[in-house]
Amino acid sequence: MVLAVPLSPTPAMAIEEPAFELVRQLDGVEIRQYAPYVVAEVVVNTSAERAGNEAFPILAGYIFGKNKGERKMAMTAPVTQTAQPMKMEMTVPVTQTPTVGGHRVQFVLPRTVSLATAPEPLDARVQLREVPAAQVAVVRFSGLWSDANYQANLTKLKAALTAAKLTWEGEPVLSRYNAPITPWFMRRNEIWLNLVPAASSGSSAAGAPAPL
């Protein structure tokens, strides 16, 4: 699961989001084509409920000037959080040992910032990465965080994709767009699933997430 932490200081203030085009609409689901964008990210070994709170001050420190050059950047939305499953990748001659899970939390950097121009973090826990262009299925809902709310909407998203014979891969992404002071009924939450490109979808079972 990917969690996006709210960044806007007030419910009415518009903030920058990654660029995307609306490709298609299903039953309560949008298919979006996202352009590449750059993120600052940190992995925290904690629960989904606590990950955002633990990661936020680390990433906010980077955004607000804890970087080489003390450069300050505008905050954007969403902030994303993804579950990190335990992985074991073995290659020859390199072997990578298993890593404990946790959650990867990301701040999206402004569109004017590229991977080449982003300031270097002073905190080694903060990593910079470009997220490649991708087609993403999105379900939107309001309310506070709860596992029941999340699971219900994830089920809705997967059902719509299965009905449309679309396949997805990777972990779901939970995105939050509003400040903590925003009333629960006005909050914008989204769950994202990366879609498998049409040319390669035949190699995966319909509706089944492919391994990371």
Q: In this structure, which amino acid lies at residue 160?
A: A
**Cβ of 14: how many Cβ atoms within 10 Å?**
7
Is residue 111 in some structural domain?
yes
Omega before 93 within 30 of 0, i.e. cis: yes
Over range 122-145, report the average pLDDT: 95
**Whether residue 83 has pLDDT greater than 90:** no
Is residue 12 in some structural domain?
no
Is residue 121 in some structural domain?
yes
- The predicted model scores a pTM of 0.78
Give me the pLDDT at residue 85, please.
63
Is residue 129 in some structural domain?
yes
Phi, psi of 199 (to 5 degrees): -65, -25
Q: How many domains is the chain built from? A: 1
Is residue 10 in some structural domain?
no
More confident of the two residues 145 and 190: 190
Is residue 184 in some structural domain?
yes
Over range 68-95, report the average pLDDT: 72
Cα 150 from chain centroid (whole Å): 14
Is residue 8 in some structural domain?
no
Average pLDDT value for the chain: 82
**Whether residue 91 has pLDDT greater than 50:** no
Q: Residue 48 — very low, low, confident or very high, per pLDDT cuts 50/70/90?
A: confident
Task: Give, rounded to a whole angstrom, the gap between the first and last alpha carbons of the chain.
Answer: 12
**List of residues 6+ apart from 58 with CB closer than 8 A:** 42, 123, 125, 126
More confident of the two residues 21 and 94: 21
Omega before 6 within 30 of 0, i.e. cis: no
Is residue 131 in some structural domain?
yes
Q: In this structure, which amino acid lies at residue 147?
A: D
Over range 17-45, report the average pLDDT: 95
Q: What is the CA radius of gyration of the chain?
A: 17
CATH number at residue 56: 3.20.80.10
| Full residue range of the structural domain in which residue 140 is found | 20-88+98-203
